[in-house]
Structure 1
């Protein structure tokens, strides 16, 4: 029965392979399906999430409204945290579909989807080249592996979170990871071009009237993939600054030094041309923003947001040395348990073996150095955030997909393949079995943690009775049961030695988790945490008098600035707010009042009397009041 099903699957993939149009159609439909599930579904149906996302959204809105495409502003102040590409993309989206949540997140979603497509293409290309070398057709392995690689790339927590968030991290990852894939395609394709040129030269008539073909490496410009690499590096620099060239540069240099082709490849890449492309695309904006803002920009962006983040703890974002082990374990869950075996399988320490292979066969080694370089770089960095290792997720997906390719065999391609022609020998099922049982344990622990999630999560001051409300949703039980079922199914497959279906159970489990747990949970958090602020922003728009100041006391929620389109004065302490209101009253400003948005706890600490303010609205944990001024000779605060 098993052989019959497998034979039917192979026949189906063979049919796809023999019909290019059908193959392209199925591939496009698959990419659209996983792209929509991971990045498009309900993308704009949840409000902006404080505290970071509204900063980008509002800076882009200011750029869109004012027409100043050089200097980003937020709440009346310059915002030099990130370069301009994310703001440009969001502003363009505003112009196309309006100022809304969809437009804020669309650039991140598009960057993620484009990267998934390029991962899919690269895997397809790699296995097509391997089949060509081995003179065998294995469409089942090629298509299954590329489908799995695209799904692993899209359907993991780290990628989904940042692809659905309107910040610069996914744009950086899209540019950087795509640049690295383009580099490898150019690197491997250059060898094919030279071999093709050599073959044509041998086959041509040696007539003296016919000039000999010029070697591909003597061309004035690099090949198209190298050009794409340079363009995308410029995009990465405009997404997040120097890290956009430093990290890819380190990865490419480490790879070329390892395989002993450093000078050779730098020559064929036409590095001078590449530098001119990168500088020509990225430098103009930096020159303009520095020309306009001078040392304020240099000190803020290059000093604080780049150098200090690497050498010092910034904004309290410190973590122990093992922090990114946990981030990768959970951020690439549940497939992360297979990463150790995926790496060991490569035997990357056998340098002579890897140097003897053809260029395209070094793909697995390249993915490993990509993963290790980014992981090591940010482990050394002092400031640590989960989003920093987002650019290694494509490499993780590639490594795990290549591991599973050993178990996607074609029943019609049984001829023996020389070991020397394969970059890595097939992994033993017993080794995969060990990782499989680790997978079972991991899913069981995950299920147990979700059953007891209220004992793990801290409290959220913006949501009253946070733990009780989560329990009432029933989501922890649904999530726990879901992963427990997956653990049982994986265990059953391992006992029956059905290795190639294990990864499918993990993927199906994650999709179900995304649809039935994560999405309802995000709506719950939005309703309880963010909706009150959006509703209060609407009240502010209606109630605010011309030139009336809005004070936010005790917290910083930039979403209010985005939704109300009003400048907000952030004050931390109740006494600070009292003193500020007294000073404003003494100036005799018109109108003779301020709007005060405060957490209930902080508001009570102001000790205002009922006749000192007018309540406008109370939503969730927040109060919105108007505090009129009045003049008194007493020492009491001048408000009424």
Structure 2
């Protein structure tokens, strides 16, 4: 018997060998998560502007031993709670103060989410309500394995997760805790919700309380408000609010939640008072929901585009996956057993997150990350049912597959055009030209074109498994051959010069010599130089005065980073200027009073 025959025989009967199938699944999850989240994670430097702010705040916590008040560039940084800084600082202790350490919390959060989603779908990933009535049948077991494989892989194989899991910011950590809390809640709910004793709820409910408390420590009130809304809408829809409220032991849950989430908020408020309350709760939470912060406004349909593009190629299956829920028929779901409710829960989860952030006035692509696990569940259930019942393949699935092909062909053409749509970035003036010369656009074109041809063949054969595998191959190829090289190219064009400047600062800076950057604000300089930097906007009224005030009699020289276009506009005629380093578009200068 050939090796191929052995594999085929195993695939035809894998539900009969759960231990072997589990080991293979664990290895596959590890390899996929390793490629998507950890492979070459620290090979490129921190990317301006947000990532180095987080990384530097964590560095300062480690340096000063102040684990309560975050600081960046000599000032308090109240944008986010401390969990991401704490985890980064722990990573720094293990692997050093570098980009790898700054990104490890995000990568592990994404990997943990993959694992939790696999566990959830392996237990409750029934394609239909009827399948839940006989969970031990071979057919149901096959579908549970398929749903677990597909759903967990979808978490890794989409653009949004890959991007945010490889950045040292709070968004993926929030997603891991937020989504992990919802997964644990449903596992406890679907398992019957039996309490440990009269005081303690089901252990999965306890895990949900812990993870949602961590979500609050990751990004604030959104970590409990939005998941709480998901659970509330889900239970009200089913008419099970009182039943689950009782079994979840909310008093003990509140104690667990507050014991984890509250102490830091109390301590930071006692230390910083109204300044913290106004900045964190007022500006970074209330104002982000009710008004536009930092110019991040967008039209009402913004998140339709974000989900469509960010979750490609799987997003084209979402309309069909949502339509089959039949949300207009609550009686259908109320008559079903709890273990059959996962699809409904995922649908509620998706729409609550989507609608909440659509209503919010400030809009950013990262805000929709917490709905991606719900989207993965919906598509996994849709696809696994199609794979196990190809003879009853729905028009909705076929229509989605055709749309998949169309988008693939469109994207293959777009890849050739992509160098022309790269916007003008003063920090990387040659980026578009370098990208065009790199042949990465041609690689993207080839991957999408070949992938689309594979999809056409699978659609003609009406093979949902072939469609899923084709899309997976496309995404793995894009990660390895396009996305990771693009990241390296951006680092080369946009960040490497700044790191060289920062390195020279650390070796050539005179004692007590101040550093200023004019016309740009690049936090990576703060992180890599380990110094506070004066960021000055020359167009502001006090900008020129700020430049003149840097040099003093006690410290007559300072280091200046600026661009060639800006240099001629600065009041330096009465000063001696020495060029230390030029890295397009920046110049590092030493300016001395005469």
Q: Are 1:232 and 2:234 counterparts?
A: no
Provide the C-alpha distance between the structure 1 equivalents of 2:311 and 2:175, rounded to a whole number of angstroms.
15
Provide the C-alpha distance between the structure 2 equivalents of 1:264 and 1:327, rounded to a whole number of angstroms.
37
Q: Are 1:386 and 2:365 counterparts?
A: yes
Q: Judge conservation of contact 1:157–1:331 (CA < 8 Å) in 2.
A: yes
Q: Judge conservation of contact 1:378–1:388 (CA < 8 Å) in 2.
A: yes
Paired position in structure 2 for 1:188: 190
Q: Are 1:35 and 2:19 counterparts?
A: no
SS in 2 for 1:481: helix
Q: Are 1:404 and 2:383 counterparts?
A: yes
Q: What displacement does 1:577 show?
A: 5.3
Paired position in structure 1 for 2:307: 328
Provide the C-alpha distance between the structure 2 equivalents of 1:478 and 1:30, rounded to a whole number of angstroms.
25
Q: What displacement does 1:583 show?
A: 3.2
Provide the C-alpha distance between the structure 1 equivalents of 2:301 and 2:148, rounded to a whole number of angstroms.
31
SS in 1 for 2:517: strand
Q: Judge conservation of contact 1:616–1:626 (CA < 8 Å) in 2.
A: yes
Q: Judge conservation of contact 1:217–1:268 (CA < 8 Å) in 2.
A: no
Listed as ranges, the matches of 1:473-488 within 5 Å are 473-488=438-453
Paired position in structure 2 for 1:77: 75
Question: Which of 401, 415, 432 is residue 450 of structure 1 equivalent to?
Answer: 415
Provide the C-alpha distance between the structure 2 equivalents of 1:6 and 1:81, rounded to a whole number of angstroms.
54
Residues 371, 169 of structure 1: CA spacing in aligned structure 2 closer, same or farther, 3 A cutoff?
A: same
SS in 1 for 2:433: helix
SS in 1 for 2:558: strand
Q: 1:321-350 CA deviation, whole Å, 9 max, x = no partner? A: 000000000110111000000001111211
SS in 2 for 1:221: coil
Q: 1:556-614 CA deviation, whole Å, 9 max, x = no partner? A: 100000000011001010785543343344x4122x11110012211232275697300
* Structure 2: 5+ residue stretches without partners: none
Q: Judge conservation of contact 1:123–1:145 (CA < 8 Å) in 2.
A: yes
Paired position in structure 2 for 1:523: 488
Paired position in structure 2 for 1:257: 236
Provide the C-alpha distance between the structure 1 equivalents of 2:265 and 2:198, rounded to a whole number of angstroms.
32
Q: Judge conservation of contact 2:232–2:241 (CA < 8 Å) in 1.
A: yes
Provide the C-alpha distance between the structure 2 equivalents of 1:394 and 1:521, rounded to a whole number of angstroms.
26
Residues 618, 566 of structure 1: CA spacing in aligned structure 2 closer, same or farther, 3 A cutoff?
A: same
- Which 10-residue stretch deviates more, 502-511 or 45-54? 502-511
SS in 2 for 1:407: helix
- Which 10-residue stretch deviates more, 11-20 or 66-75? 11-20
Number of residue pairs aligned between Structure 1 and Structure 2? 588
Q: Judge conservation of contact 1:345–1:427 (CA < 8 Å) in 2.
A: no
Q: What displacement does 1:131 show?
A: 6.3
SS in 1 for 2:560: strand
Paired position in structure 2 for 1:589: 554
Q: Are 1:154 and 2:156 counterparts?
A: yes
- Which 10-residue stretch deviates more, 554-563 or 597-606? 597-606
Question: Rg bigger for which structure?
Answer: 1
Provide the C-alpha distance between the structure 2 equivalents of 1:240 and 1:601, rounded to a whole number of angstroms.
39
Q: What displacement does 1:14 show?
A: 6.2
Paired position in structure 2 for 1:203: none
Provide the C-alpha distance between the structure 1 equivalents of 2:125 and 2:301, rounded to a whole number of angstroms.
35
Question: Which of 108, 112, 121 is residue 106 of structure 2 equivalent to?
Answer: 108
Q: Judge conservation of contact 2:575–2:592 (CA < 8 Å) in 1.
A: no
Paired position in structure 1 for 2:429: 464
Q: Judge conservation of contact 1:406–1:427 (CA < 8 Å) in 2.
A: no
Q: Are 1:49 and 2:47 counterparts?
A: yes
Aligned-pair Cα RMSD in Å:
2.2
Q: What displacement does 1:457 show?
A: 2.1
Provide the C-alpha distance between the structure 2 equivalents of 1:551 and 1:256, rounded to a whole number of angstroms.
56
Provide the C-alpha distance between the structure 2 equivalents of 1:345 and 1:456, rounded to a whole number of angstroms.
37
Q: 1:478-503 CA deviation, whole Å, 9 max, x = no partner? A: 21121122122211221222232112
Provide the C-alpha distance between the structure 1 equivalents of 2:18 and 2:142, rounded to a whole number of angstroms.
15
Residues 182, 427 of structure 1: CA spacing in aligned structure 2 closer, same or farther, 3 A cutoff?
A: farther
Q: Judge conservation of contact 2:325–2:344 (CA < 8 Å) in 1.
A: yes
TM-score for the superposition, normalised by structure 2: 0.95
